[in-house]
Structure formats: structure tokens, C-alpha cells
Amino acid sequence: MAKSPLPKQLQQRLVRTYAKIDNTHYRRPRRMAVYRHVAITSLILIALGVFLRFHIIEAAEDLFAAKIQQQLDSQVAAVQFWAKTEMGLADSVATRHQVHTLLKRYQSASSEQMRKIQDELSLEVEQGLSSSDSMGFMILNQAGEIIASTKQHALGSMLSRANIRLIESVVERNVRLSSVMFADRLVPDTKLPPVMLIATRIEVDALPQDFYLVELLNASLEFNLITELYRSDERIEMYYFNAEGMMISESPLLNDVKRAGLLIDSERKSTVLNVRLTDPSSKEGLPVLPIQRALTLGSGSNFDGYRSYRNEEVMGVWFWVPELQIGFAVEVNRSEMLDLISPLLYTEILMFALLAFSGVAMVIYQVRMRRLDDQVNAFEQLGQYRLKEKIGEGGIGTVYRAKHALLRRPTALKVLKKSMLTEEIIDRFELEVQQTALLSHPNTIQVYDYGLSPDGTFYYAMEFIRGFNLGDYIEQFGPMPQARVIHILRQVCGSLAEAHSRGLIHRDIKPPNIMLCNQGGIYDHVKVLDFGLVKDISDPESTQLTQTQSIAGTPAYIAPERLQNPSLCDARTDIYALGAVAYNMLSGKDLFTGTNALQIALSALKESPVPISDAVSAPIEARLASLVMRCISKQPEQRPRDVFEILEELDRLQALYPWQQTDAFGWWSQYAEPLLKHEPEETEDA
């Protein structure tokens, strides 16, 4: 942070103060020492400049190479995890006792009883696959007769011998997943998108023949979900391909591909099995380099440059999964990468032009201001606020404990990082201030002031909370008593009720953003923090600002509908997050866990959480458990309509399970001290 020049009288005073503390005298450095510092610094800068000249492009290429390699590794792990999950689900259905019982009954049933048993079998399998994204299923015998299916009209029909051989070949694989194919190959006269098959053998004791369970998966949906979760840079293109050199995933560049005439069927608004990935420079129509190398050598990379299927110079990495017979490529346009580092080359030239002046200025500044620097830091301030210490740091800002120069009021000052200064970040920072300032509920963090320092630093001041967040509490003490949970949830609902009434959606409700404090002698007073991801659904300009291609928020607390479509956002997304927080407080556990964000997101989309009554060790009021499970329903329409409905139920529950101030005071007196953010003792300014 830039320092404004200090008055000469103040400089002299600081020098005297420092000399007393250090028991030394402030002496002017010798002239020869200054020259020596200048010479050494100049040599270092010249050597650094020469080094940068020869290595800056290479370093940039290595940076991009590492980035796209990371994208590739994430995709490979995600695909393997997805395939393992889907096959595990199919195995669980194929080994169900009820499924085996119904198949035995079917084999010995009369023609009048068969249809009823087929309906029961179809319903049983459909329930078992409810957490899968399959578009449908069928159970058939070895003769190819369909005896259970999501399509009732298909019951009793026969598959062709070629389709039976296809299913048998998939069953015999280690990974029982077929390649991507058109759906009408298996189910004629259908308008389904391209699919992948999961085929599982059902072996029933005492029956002479086996059966097959076949699932149809939407290939574009599965691959797109995995790709979009890890797409961190729009300059990077990612796509899946098969052994025939066909693209088997949707491309976000569909319009560009169509304009280039690369679609096989221009009427289909899809790139799945509709783009042949050929090398434009190949007269023989060979596949692009990643496919050629993947099919012969397996996984690899090329950072020297090659032609993509869209006839661009790119560098990339690729991976081939032989058991799935699919590959994946990550590519970045080489010219765009070089454009990004061109400013660095111009900066290098300017650095040499100013080398002598910068070296001399830096050394003189170092020698003359070295002993003053620590003292001047104590007078660092933004506007009317004096900074004391850093107390937190986030993605775009740093939070300092500060004090108003005149009012002497303790304050938390959030400062926007200069490294993050972009037009969008500044707009988002201003939106956070403006939207939070509109809120006056006592359980919402209060904003005092907002400003811009002379050196271009954006900041805003808010009340300083001496307390702890729910995340720290749960990490140290585990689950909360249900009476205390009800007490805290009522206050959070109060804060959200005001925000929702103004058309504002928080979008990042989670334990670290909910603080407990002693507010004016009231213990367990709640403050809801961090409206940095707030979305104003009543203001079109604000809505446009908060829409991005990435999913904003914390995966464990994001509603499932936002994982599929980040633009879907209303009060029910906050209600889902509130239910997840309640689940965490009551059980000490997250709704879903995983080793990375993708696993958590996939679990939130496909799995049902353990009922809260089973996740807690102590008995829990049935109405509270029901309320929590309604809030975390995967279907938005099944959640409470708004926070006022939740408040009404919490009010009734609080009458049965009160949390008094005497309870809160007793807990704070005995346990709170290690969690509190301490303020160091201060002395009056000299």
C-alpha cells in the first residue's frame, strides 16, 4: 500500500523514537556504501532482465501446460468416479432379493399373472435406480425378450440378435459401459439423444438362465456435467472422443463449429456423434493429433503446437481410457497464450530503459527509510480508519481490524486486493457494499462506510464482531443441542427474511458465514456475514452482473438445481443452504462428503442424505427433523415456500425447547474463551 510523504517534523520525531528503542543513533550512511548498493542492485537487475528475456515465453508455456494438465487429471478422475458410481448402483439393483423373487415368480407364472409381475418388477427396478441419471432401463432374458422396462409398450417385445450380442459384449467387459451410440440402434423409432449402455448380468439361483439389466445414460448430460464443473478458463477447450474419431460430448463452441461447416448433420443442434475430428492439414482425412496418438500410444501431450479440428494452432494434452474406449483432450489456442505474455515483453524493455533510475531510487529509499518503515506502518490508514492488524483474508479482499480516527470505534475494514482489480471485481465489490448497506436487521452485519483511498484502494468499513463462527464451534465441540440450534436458526431466518423481502439472495449461507457473539450483553446473538455473492433477483443489471459460467458458493451447501444450472437462483436456494447448516449443527456432519468438489457435487445431485434422525446420536424432535429434511429436499417445490414458513415452525418448536440467556451465559462463561478473536491491548497514541 503506497505511503504519502510524512511531514518533516514527524519524520524527525519517529527517528528519535526509533533511536531510543534500539539504543542506537541515526547516522547517515556513507557515500561509498550507497554507490556499492547501487552497483550491486544494478547488476542483479541486469542479470534478472537477461534471464527473463530468454525464459519468459518458456515459463508462460510451462504455466499453461501445467494448467491444462491439471484440467486433464481432474477430468480423468471424474470420469472414473462417475463410471464406478453408476456401475455400483446397477450392481446393487441386480443383487436385490426382491428383484430375484419377482424373476422367479415370472418364470413360473401363468400368462394372466405375467403382466402384473412385470409391472411390479419394473417399479422395483425404477425405485432402485432413482438416484441415477439414466433415461430408462430394461430387463431381458437371454433370448432377447424384454420382461421389465420404463416403457410399458416395450414389454414382451424382442431385441434383434445383433443387439443381444452387443449387450452380451458389454456385460463381459471389466467396465460394463458401452461406447456412445445413437439410441435408435437399440430402441427403434425413438427421439432420444445419443446414449451409453450399462449392462449387468442378473444371476438368479434355481433358474437355468440369466437375465440382463440394461440402463440407458444420456452421454451429453453426463460428460457436460463433469466438464463444466472443471472448466475454469474459457480459453481452454475440452472434449471427449471415441475410437472412430467422433466427438462424443457437447461443445460450448457449437455456433463456431456450425459456421465452419463441421457438423455432419447441420439440422441437429448437437456435436455428439455429429463432428468428425479430422486434421485439416491431412489430405488423407486423418484424425487430429490427440486421437492418432491416443489410439496408438495412449495418453500424451504436445506443447510445440499442432492443428486442431477447427484449424487453429493449439497445444494440448490427452488421455485414453481403454476400458471405456473413450478419450479426452484439453487444448488451448497457442496465439492467445502468446498474446497474454506480450505485455510482459514490453514491460521488460521498459525495465531496461529505467534500470539506472529505479536502481538508484530503490537503494536511496531503502537506506533512508529502512529505520522509519516500522514506525510509519503504525500510522497507515485508509480514509478516517487506522489499520491495526489483519484478521482474515478471502478470495478478493483482506479484512483488517481498524479504528475510526475520531470516533475511536473498533471496526472491521475489508480492503479489495489490488491484484484482483478488474472492472467486474470492482463492480461486484461495490454491489456487496450497496446491497449489505440496505439491510438493517440486527442479525445482519452492519456496514458503516465505503471509500476509495488516494492510491486507488477500495475499502468498506463494517462493525467489528468479537465472537466465533459456527464452523469453528462444530470443529471443536461437535453437534449442538436442538434447543440452541432452534435459537440460532430463528435469528438467521430473520436476517434472510429481510434480504429476501428486498429481492436479495445470499447464495453463500454456510457455517463460517454465521457468527455467534455477545451483543450488548445478549449471548448467542447471531450475525450473518459475507454478502459478497449476493444476487438481486429484482434488478436486471444486478442479475446480469452476478451471472457467470462458474458455480459460485461452497459445494456442500449449494442447492442441486444450481449445480445443474448456476443461473437458477431464488429464495429456495438459501433455504436449502439453511437446511444444510441446520443438519451440520445437529449432527456435526456435512450433508455430503468427498475428497474434492466434484465428488461432493455429484453426491448432492445423485445421492439422498442420511436422514437427520439417523445422523444424530441424541433424540431429536420429529417436527424439527421433518423441517430440516424438507429444507434439503432436492426438489425446490418440496421445500418451505419462504423463510417465514420456517420461522413459524421454529417459533412453535422454541416454545417446547427454549434456549434461555442463562443457558447461553453459562456456556460462554465456561467454553467460549478459546474461540474468541482477541483484541490486543492498545496504548494511547503518543
Q: For 200, phi and psi rounded to 5 degrees?
A: -130, 135
How far apart are the C-alpha atoms of 295 and 292, rounded to whole Å?
6
Instruction: Locate 4 and state its grid cell.
Output: 504519502
Is residue 552 within 8 Å of residue 508, measured between CB atoms? yes
Coil, helix or strand for 38? helix
Amino acid at 640: P
Is residue 209 within 8 Å of residue 42, measured between CB atoms? no
For residue 316, how many other CB atoms are within 10 A of its CB? Answer: 28
CA nearest neighbour of 94 among 135, 23, 36, 148: 148
- 48: Cβ–Cβ under 8 A, 6 or more apart, which residues? none
CA nearest neighbour of 295 among 342, 327, 257: 327
Q: At what angle do helices 482-501 and 643-656 cross, to 10 degrees?
A: 150
Q: Is 233 a catalytic residue?
A: no
Distance of CA 113 to the CA centre of its chain: 51
How far apart are the C-alpha atoms of 330 and 290, rounded to whole Å?
9
How far apart are the C-alpha atoms of 59 and 407, rounded to whole Å?
51
E strand or H helix at 241: strand 236-242
How far apart are the C-alpha atoms of 245 and 286, rounded to whole Å?
9
- 1: Cβ–Cβ under 8 A, 6 or more apart, which residues? 380, 455, 457
158 bridge partner residues: 145
- 33: Cβ–Cβ under 8 A, 6 or more apart, which residues? 367
Is residue 149 within 8 Å of residue 136, measured between CB atoms? yes
How far apart are the C-alpha atoms of 414 and 399, rounded to whole Å?
4
Selected catalytic residue, list 62, 374, 427, 508:
508
- 671: Cβ–Cβ under 8 A, 6 or more apart, which residues? 477
Give the strands of the sheet with 467-469, arranged side by side.
467-469, 514-519, 522-528
382 bridge partner residues: 385
Give the strands of the sheet with 236-242, arranged side by side.
236-242, 326-333, 313-321, 300-307
E strand or H helix at 318: strand 313-321
How far apart are the C-alpha atoms of 181 and 187, rounded to whole Å?
11
CA distances from 274 to 67, 115, 264, 277 (A): 29, 40, 5, 10
How far apart are the C-alpha atoms of 243 and 320, rounded to whole Å?
9
- 364: Cβ–Cβ under 8 A, 6 or more apart, which residues? 34
Q: Provide the sign of the torsion angle of the four alpha carbons 638, 639, 644, 647, taken in this order.
A: positive
- 15: Cβ–Cβ under 8 A, 6 or more apart, which residues? 26, 371, 372
Instruction: Locate 118 and state its grid cell.
Output: 412385470
Give the strands of the sheet with 410-416, arranged side by side.
381-382, 385-393, 397-404, 410-416, 458-463, 447-452
CA nearest neighbour of 433 among 420, 421, 418, 445: 445
Active site residues: 508
